[in-house]
């Protein structure tokens, strides 16, 4: 049980110049989830943080729109102009003026950080009665990282950036991970005292360590067990690397739970997706968002499952099938080359190859629902135009376009009558060859 309440300040104001993109860095996605979303979720999932302050700057409106749409316990605060990380945290000071608790400061571009690590970090800070705790990591090659500097008694006294470090300090392997736990009532005063007498003219968050030491406060460092969690995204290459790391963790978790993954190099599954034992994922499967997939299913190859899918047991999702925001109940087959979106499929439904649920009206921008009840089936190359219900045991003939509800046990067909013109090809050949064979 913590002695204090906890809030967070998440730094999300930077442009991310090395991303070479008009999109704010923190809105770049992994598995269709923005980097900032991973960080806010990790903080919220600790169960200890009740409120988040998001510092926005570059393309602030876009970032704020994402936050407002997805999080009720988050408030955006504008930093303009961007004058460094210390200045960014200082923007939140007026909103926390009367707060007596702990504040976690974390960057919004660190999608690999986990709620378990954040909780351990907070508990370490609390158990040591610290005023300020800095998350650190040990690297054999610490190049480009700020070093954790200690005195002869091993007391943490400063963070020194590599460009300012002495040859002796550069040999230090403990580095700053960029995450802080602050006893707010005691340390928040530091942000009014920061100086910007440096080449960049910025206020550095790291300077609060020096301030705290000068005030004879208790300063601690918490060493990360897994250095990957401090990985910050500054380029598209790093975004791809983080995707691989997250995916590897997801696949290992799933395989530990009894899921068979035929090729881990070509299979991608979002961390929020759960899959039951003995389900097989074939090569080329790509699953994003939050989904639930049952036991004994067979997915792929080359299937795409998007956010909001709930798939039962013994379900077959064929090759080149896309599923989005749909419920598929037990023992149902969705054959190859099909799209199922905003739909509800019952048990023992058979979806023929090339079936499409046409769920989106581009004029009204409305997405409508398709319901296909137990035992129904669609023939190949069918188009089901929502909103529509195909009732129990009904059958849709191949090549049909369905725009009305279909009664139980009935056949729905919109196929034009077949016409055969005898010798048509032969006549055309003679016509274009001038009568010569």
| Tens-digit pLDDT profile for residues 12-57 | 999 889 999 999 999 999 999 999 999 999 999 999 999 999 999 9
Asked whether residue 16 falls in the same domain as residue 142, the answer is: yes
In this predicted structure, what is the pLDDT of residue 200?
A: 78
Q: Is the Cβ–Cβ distance between 269 and 251 less than 8 Å?
A: yes
Predicted confidence (pLDDT) per residue in 357-401, tens digit:
999 988 998 999 999 999 999 999 999 999 999 999 999 999 999
- Is the pLDDT at 198 greater than 80? The verdict is no
Asked whether residue 220 falls in the same domain as residue 201, the answer is: yes
In this predicted structure, what is the pLDDT of residue 120?
A: 97
Instruction: Give the pLDDT mean for 133-162.
Output: 91
- Domain extent at residue 400: 236-412
**Single residue among 212, 230, 248 that ends a domain in this structure:** 230
In a domain, 327, yes or no: yes
The CATH number of the domain holding residue 104 is 3.90.550.10
Residue 28 a catalytic site member: no
Asked whether residue 328 falls in the same domain as residue 407, the answer is: yes
Instruction: Give the pLDDT mean for 120-139.
Output: 96
Instruction: Give the pLDDT mean for 150-159.
Output: 90
Asked whether residue 216 falls in the same domain as residue 261, the answer is: no
- Is the pLDDT at 435 greater than 90? The verdict is no
Q: Cα-atom radius of gyration of the chain, to the nearest Å?
A: 29
Q: How far apart are CA 9 and CA 60, in angstroms?
A: 16
Predicted confidence (pLDDT) per residue in 107-125, tens digit:
999 999 999 999 999 999 9
In a domain, 423, yes or no: no
The CATH number of the domain holding residue 316 is 2.160.10.10
Asked whether residue 341 falls in the same domain as residue 193, the answer is: no
**Single residue among 230, 252, 283 that ends a domain in this structure:** 230
Domain count, the chain: 2
Asked whether residue 190 falls in the same domain as residue 245, the answer is: no
- Residue 336: band (very low, low, confident or very high) from pLDDT cuts 50, 70, 90: very high
Q: Which is the catalytic residue, given 28, 125, 304, 336?
A: 336
Q: Is the Cβ–Cβ distance between 261 and 281 less than 8 Å?
A: yes
Asked whether residue 212 falls in the same domain as residue 352, the answer is: no
Asked whether residue 257 falls in the same domain as residue 378, the answer is: yes
**Single residue among 230, 265, 287 that ends a domain in this structure:** 230
In this predicted structure, what is the pLDDT of residue 85?
A: 94
Q: What predicted TM-score, i.e. pTM, was given to this entire model?
A: 0.92
In a domain, 134, yes or no: yes
In a domain, 203, yes or no: yes
Q: Which of 163-187 are b and which e, b meaning 16 or more Cβ less than 10 Å from the residue's Cβ?
A: eebeeeeeebebbbbbbbbbbbbbb
Instruction: Give the pLDDT mean for 390-418.
Output: 96
In a domain, 284, yes or no: yes
User: Which tokens hold the place of 89?
Assistant: 């945290």
- What burial class does residue 308 get, using C-beta atoms within 10 Å of its C-beta: 0-12 exposed, 13-18 middle, 19+ buried? middle
Asked whether residue 225 falls in the same domain as residue 241, the answer is: no
């Amino acid at each position: 049980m913590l002695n204090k309440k906890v809030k967070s300040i998440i730094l999300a104001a930077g442009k991310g110049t090395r991303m070479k993109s008009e999109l704010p860095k923190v809105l770049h996605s992994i598995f269709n989830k923005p980097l900032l979303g991973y960080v806010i979720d990790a903080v919220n999932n600790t169960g200890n943080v009740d409120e988040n302050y998001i510092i926005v700057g570059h393309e602030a409106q876009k970032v704020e729109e994402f936050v407002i749409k997805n999080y009720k316990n988050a408030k955006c605060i504008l930093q303009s102009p961007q004058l460094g990380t210390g200045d960014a945290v200082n923007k939140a000071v007026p909103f926390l003026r009367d707060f007596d608790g702990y504040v976690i400061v974390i960057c919004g571009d660190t999608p690999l950080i986990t709620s378990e690590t954040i909780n351990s970090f907070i508990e370490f800070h609390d158990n040591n009665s610290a005023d300020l705790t800095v998350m650190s990591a040990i690297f054999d090659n610490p190049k480009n990282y700020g070093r954790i500097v200690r005195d002869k008694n091993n007391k943490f006294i400063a963070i020194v950036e590599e460009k300012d470090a002495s040859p002796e300090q550069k040999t230090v392997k403990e580095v700053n991970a960029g995450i802080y736990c602050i006893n707010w009532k005691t340390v928040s005063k530091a942000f009014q005292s920061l100086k910007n007498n440096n080449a960049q003219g910025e206020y550095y968050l790291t300077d609060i360590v020096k301030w705290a030491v000068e005030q004879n406060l208790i300063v601690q460092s918490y060493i990360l067990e897994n250095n990957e969690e401090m990985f910050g995204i500054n380029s598209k290459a790093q975004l791809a690397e983080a995707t691989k790391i997250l995916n590897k963790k997801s696949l290992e978790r799933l395989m530990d739970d009894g899921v068979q993954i035929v090729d881990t190099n070509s299979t991608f599954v979002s961390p929020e997706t759960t899959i039951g034992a003995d389900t097989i994922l074939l090569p080329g499967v790509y699953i994003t968002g939050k989904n639930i997939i049952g036991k004994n299913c067979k997915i792929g190859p080359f299937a795409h499952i998007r956010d909001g899918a709930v798939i039962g047991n013994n379900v077959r999702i064929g090759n080149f099938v896309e599923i989005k925001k749909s419920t598929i109940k037990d023992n149902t087959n969705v054959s190859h080359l099909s799209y199922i979106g905003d739909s509800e499929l019952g048990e023992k439904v058979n979806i023929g190859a090339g079936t499409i649920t046409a769920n989106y009206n581009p004029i009204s921008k409305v997405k409508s629902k398709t319901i296909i009840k137990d035992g129904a089936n669609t023939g190949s190359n069918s188009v089901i135009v929502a909103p529509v219900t195909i009732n129990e045991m009904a059958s849709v003939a191949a090549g049909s376009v369905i725009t009305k509800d279909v009664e139980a046990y009935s056949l729905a067909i919109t196929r034009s009558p077949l016409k055969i013109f005898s010798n048509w090809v032969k006549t055309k050949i003679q016509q274009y060859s001038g009568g010569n064979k």
